Structures are given as C-alpha cells and as structure tokens.
Chain A
Amino acid sequence: MSTIGPSISLNNVSRHFGAVKAVDALSLEIKAGSLVALVGLSGSGKSTLLKMINRLVEPSSGSILVGEDQIEAIDPHVLRRRIGYVFQNIGLFPHMTIARNIAIGLELAGGHQGLDDRVAELLDLVELPREMAQRMPDQLSGGQQQRVGVARALATRPGLMLMDEPFGALDPVTRDNLTEQYKKLHHKLELTTIIVTHDMAEALYLADRILVMQDGQIKADATPAELLSGKVGAEAEALVAVPRAQAEHFHALGKQS
C-alpha cells in the first residue's frame, strides 16, 4: 500500500491580507518523500503557506506545483481529495461514527465497497482498537480523536500530507507518542509531509528539513543537525535556544542527582 509522495515547488508565491504580507514572494523546492517542518512564531505566515498548497488559501500571486501539476488548474475539491490534511482542531464530524469519519473521503470519491476493511486497516495503522469503529467522536480522548484525524487523512492514500500543528493541543506524553508514530508512518508509506509547528523540539525530532519562517519569508533552511550547531542565523538561533537551554538544564539536573 505504499505510495511515493510528490515533490512540491513554490515559485515567487505571495499572499496578502489587506496590507499585511502573510507570505512574501517566497520560492521553495521540497523533494519527494521528505518530511519538512515549518517553524516560526505566531503570524510568521507558516499556516498560510501550508494552506496555499491545498488551496484552502488562494495565493495573491505566484505559482505552486504539486508533482508535475500546476494546482490552480485543478478544482480545489479535486486537489484536496489527493492531499491529506490534519489540523490542530481535528474537526471530526460529531454526528458520524468513527468508521464513517474515517471513510468519508472514500465516500466522497464514490467508493462504497470494502469500506469496513479499509477502516479496520486504518485503525490498525494509527494504533487504535478496531472496536472504536462504531463509537461516536465525543466518546474518544483528544489523542484518540487526532489518531482518527490522521487515519481519515490517510484513507484515500494521498501521497502528500499537510499537517497544521496537528498535535499542538494534546498533552506532552500523548503528543510525543503521536509524533513518534507519525514519523514511522511517514517513512513506511513513503509520504511527502509538511508539518507546521511552533515547537522547535518537535521539529528537531521529527523532520529531516526545517524551514524557519518570519514575516512571510524563509529565514533559515537547514537540517536539524545544522540548526543545532547554531550556524544558520539569528532567527533560527532564537528558536533553537529554548529547547537547547532546556536540554542543558535537564542534563545538569540529572548529573546533580
């Protein structure tokens, strides 16, 4: 069931909200199969950049390629059915069972055969018990709900996953778990993933490439190792400083005891 994710190419893309330039003449190449983290402070434009790729936000100018396809040439709903989308508020449909929530993308695509098997397979994939299929969303914990959110996004076997602070609202333990498991899924399914996060530690752990955004532009573009070495500029350093200081502090605490 593995798919190979597409490459992404942004060419001189801008998005203005009135006078505010959320994304400012930005160009970017993302290789197929990579797991890219977009980090930055609130208002840096990282969510806007992500949402332009599945046309939840339309660019003011510039062009975007997913694989070989120019996205403005594709109907938004058709484009979105090819791209998995997971976001912080999850947005499970409260009036549908977990099974229907997971299978809704397949239903939209016109598939009605073998939905139950596919739901069971996806529940296995996100490590939820199969009995959950007939529950309603409000009977699940936040972590379980976001696992369903990931399963729903993966149901139509998209090659590209867009994740907007997917685990931001979860408790640290659950969050760590899900981050870990998602990383494995990404490699297993050979996806291309772009994940927006404001948590540098998560980005450092998860991604193989980190883009630091500020004022609608990419201020740093590096691997986690390069970022930690502190050679990629002031903006990146400011974000890395926090987890690094925390790590050193924990290390020191460990030594004392």
Chain B
Amino acid sequence: MNEAWRSAFSRVPDLLAAHVQLSFSALLLAMVICLPLAIWAARAPKVAAVILGFASLIQTIPALALLALFYPVLLGLSLLVGGGITALGFLPALLALTLYALLPILRNAVTGLTGVDPAAKEAADGLGMTASQKLRLVEAPLAAPTIMAGIRTAAVWTIGAATLSTTVGQASLGDMIFAGLQTQNWTLVLAGCLASASLAIIVDLLLGVIEKSIAVRKKVRAWIAAAILGIGLAIALLPTLQSRENVIVIGAKGFSEQFILARLIGARLEEQGYAIEYRDGLGSALVFQAVAADDIDIYVDYSGTIWTNQMQRTDAPPTDQMLSEIGEWANRQHSVTMLGALGFENTYAFAIRPEDAASKDLKTLDDLARVSPEFTFGTDLEFLERPEWEMVKDAYPLRFKEERSFNPTFMYPALASGEADVISAFSSDGRIAANGFVVLDDEKGAVPSYEALLLVSSDSAVDEKLVDAIRPLVGAISVEKMREANYMVDRSDDKKTPGQAAAWLDRQIGE
C-alpha cells in the first residue's frame, strides 16, 4: 500500500463511525415510525393506500434534493420557534435519510402483515386471542421474514444515501468521495466508495442471515448475526461518548483552496493544543449560516460572496469600504467576527484558450461580448444562478451559443479540450497559469472584489488563544502562493494532499 492509499484510509475510521451513527439512527427512527403505521395500515386498506402513496412520493425525490430541502425547512422552523434548531449537520441528514428509509420498511411490513395466512388468523381468533396477542404470537412472527427483508433493503439504501449527507455538513464517508472529486484525488474517492460499499455489503449479509434464520426458525444463527451487528454498532457509537468539549470545527466549501486553508488554520490550532474537526464540502449558501449558528467555528469566505449573497447588495464600492461594511454587518446581524483579509483575492475570472486570444484578438470582456454568439460558456455548478452573473451581463452584452455547468474540477479540462470556449475560472486557481489560459480584463469593474476573509463564530471569537493563533494569517497569503498551493493539489502528476499543500503554504508564510 503506497502513501496515497495510507493517507486516504487513515480518514476512514472516524468517518465510518459517523456514517454508521447516522445510518443506524435514521434506520432506527424509520422503524419506530413505520412499524406502528404498518400495523394500522394492515388493518385498514385505505390507510395503507395513503401511507404507501406518501412514502412512494418521497422516494421519487432525489436523495440529494431531499437533503438540500431540509436546510430551508429547518431554518424556517427554527425561526418559528425562536431559534435553537440547527439546520445543518446531523439533524437534516437524519430526517432526510429517515424519510428515504420509510418506503421499503413500510411496504414490506404491510405486505408481510396482510400476507399472513387467513387460516392462522382465524385460528387465533377462534382460540380467543386478543388483538395484541394475535399480533405478538401469530402475525408478527409470521410476517417477520418479510419485515426483515424490508429493513435490509432500507439499510443498504440508507448507507448508500448517507454519503450525500456531506453536502449538508454532516460527516460521512461521502466526505472522502466529495473531497476526492474536487481535488481529483481518485485514491480518496475510491477509498470512500470502497469503505461505504463494504459497510453496505457487510450489513446486507448480516441482515440477510437474520432474515433467513427467522424464516427457517434457526434462532441461534439469527442471534449470532445480530450480536456481530451489535458489536459493530457499539464500536461506532463509542466516539459519541467521548467529550466534545474544546473541539474546534473548521468549515470548508467544496474546492481545493478551501480544503488547504482549513488545514492551514487547523494545523496552527493543533500546535496550540486544540482538537480539530474538519467539515468539508459545505455549500456556499450554508456555510455562513453554519458559522452564524456556531455549528462551525472558523472558515474562509470571500467578500463578494457575502456582499451579494448574504447582504443582497448589488453595488460595488472600493475594497476597503466593502470589507469594513462586511465586518460590521457580520458582527451586528450574526455575531460573526471577521478577523481580516488573508491577502489574496479569488474572484471570478473569464479565461479563454491562448489560441483564441491570439487569433480573435480577445483582451477584455467587451471583446468577449463581440464573439460570444460563437462561444460555449463553461461554468461551475452555481455561477449561472449567482448575482455576479447578472451583474456581468448587465455590464457586457454577453450572448453565448450555449451554457454548460461543470464540477469545478472538470471546468479547466473542458476549456482545454474545447468543450467550452470560455470558463468562469477562479483567479487564484493554479490551473489557469499551468494551462496557459488567458484571463480577460473586467474593464468596467462589474465583478465585485473577492478578498478571502477569515470568519470566526461568536463562541470562538472570545477565545484569545485561538484568535492569537490564527491572526498572523491575516494579510500573509499572496495570490501567487495560494495559486501554487492550489496547483499542488489540483494537478494530475505528483499530487499533494490539501494537508501537505497547507504545510508548504505555512512554511512560505513563515519565511
């Protein structure tokens, strides 16, 4: 096993434990909800039709969308009850996965209970069993194999879908898959897939043994399989018993620069004796809410993002004025402290191939507007929905032939290979220079400033030792250094992990 695999698998134990905790909780909650409902439904066909219809409807919603939907729902609920409900992390993931697990459990339980031999039920009545005795002694045991089969299906689905909970800030094996995808670290993606697939297969096998043992009434075998499951679960639950005091959670959005900066901050805090947890791959809309709600302690955001998304501003004042307004707004409205700007900007940069720049004489966004009907525009997944795009369109008459969204990782290869002719690149991305791409000038200043800002939650801002440990980062990172660190992670050859790139960056700052 080489270094890449070793480092990938070193992340597995913690994430596996979180994955098991989440999947098991969702499955347990789904069972608690489903079994009484199934008993009711088995006695009333109309109820069964309504309940199964509802569960089927939920199943048609993509798991990713279901997870995303719980964020605004919980946020609204929290507002209604006057706060206190966290819209990120475990709760939305638990609720979405529970809803997702309902259908297989319900359907099988209803099928199992209604499928009990009518003769056995008549005999139970004839013998003078009460309804609950009939359920306990006859219906439940006879329906048990079918019910177990449903639980088994739900378990496999839940373990698979739990990888998506990364997107709402809940740690799971999906963290490895998403982070690996962003940084083109296929070893990490494969390790994450292998771990979650193995978990699903093992749980499926053990539940299968229980299901078959119940059907053929081999109690000992069922208990052995249940005991193995129980031991695995107990090991996964052990970390929750440990103290969560003094763990600093560092958030990161889903791209390399964010992973690197999170580890840079983390390493400095670890030197001061803090225990660190990383929450990678948070959506940019969620991450500010998370720091405001104290779900995460520290993260790096960009001035333009907060300006346009959170503050809903459409003007573009000078950088200094913008930063002071942001700092004041964050503190007043959300009790979030802005420690300062890191010293580099990561703005949207329109990049084209050097051949096009030369042959079509393209230097500015106005030049691009001229040729835009012949150009395909490649963007990341969110740019076309962002206010910046509106601001750019207002300033320059851009009318592209086609607009295509890519995962940021694939945006640069798409430009290189001609699948896109211009991309909304990130100015601090090392792949612009590495590919020799040409960045077009924004002469009218339509795109606001995107200074990288260090944001700290209200809980952590009062911790002087913590603030002292990370304050030296303010103004210390140049765009050249950031670009180089990003490229270490993003390039295809001799890839570094975000942690290694962060260590390199830390040494550069020290010099």
A residues bordering B, Cβ < 8 Å? 54, 56, 76-82, 85, 87, 89-95, 104-105, 108, 136, 149, 152-153
Contacts and interface: CB of A to CB of B under 8 A. Distances in A.
A80 B142 contact: no
Given A93-B120, A95-B217, A105 B125 contact: no
Contacts of B137: 93, 104
A108 B137 CA distance: 10
Given A94-B142, A108-B133, A89 B122 contact: yes
A77 B130 CA distance: 6
A108 B138 CA distance: 13
A54 B126 contact: yes
Interface in B305-329: none
Contact of A108 (B118, B121, B127, B142): B127
Contact of B127 (A89, A94, A136, A152): A152
B247 interface: no
Interface string B90-131: 000000000000000000000000000111111111111110
B123 A93 contact: yes
B142 A91 contact: no
Nearest to B130: A77
Contact of B120 (A79, A80, A91): A91
Given A94-B142, A95-B142, A108-B133, A79 B128 contact: yes
B499 interface: no
B32 to A, nearest CB: 25
B340 interface: no
Contact of A80 (B118, B119, B126, B217): B126
Contacts of B123: 85, 87, 90-93, 149, 152
A91 B217 contact: no
Given A89-B119, A90-B119, A95 B125 contact: no
B122 to A, nearest CB: 5
B283 interface: no
B141 interface: yes
Contacts of B128: 76-82, 105, 108
A136 B141 CA distance: 15
A93 B143 CA distance: 12
26 contacts: A54-B126, A76-B128, A77-B128, A77-B129, A80-B126, A80-B128, A81-B127, A87-B119, A87-B122, A91-B122, A91-B123, A93-B137, A93-B138, A93-B142, A94-B117, A94-B142, A95-B141, A95-B142, A104-B127, A105-B127, A105-B128, A108-B128, A108-B133, A136-B217, A152-B127, A153-B126
A118 to B, nearest CB: 15
Given A87-B122, A91-B123, A108-B128, 4 more contacts: A79-B128, A89-B118, A91-B119, A94-B117
A55 B417 CA distance: 80
A77 B129 CA distance: 6
Contacts of A54: 126
Contacts of B118: 89
A136 to B, nearest CB: 8
Nearest to A86: B126
A104 B124 CA distance: 9
Interface string B242-286: 000000000000000000000000000000000000000000000
A85 B119 CA distance: 12
A149 B126 CA distance: 11
A111 to B, nearest CB: 13
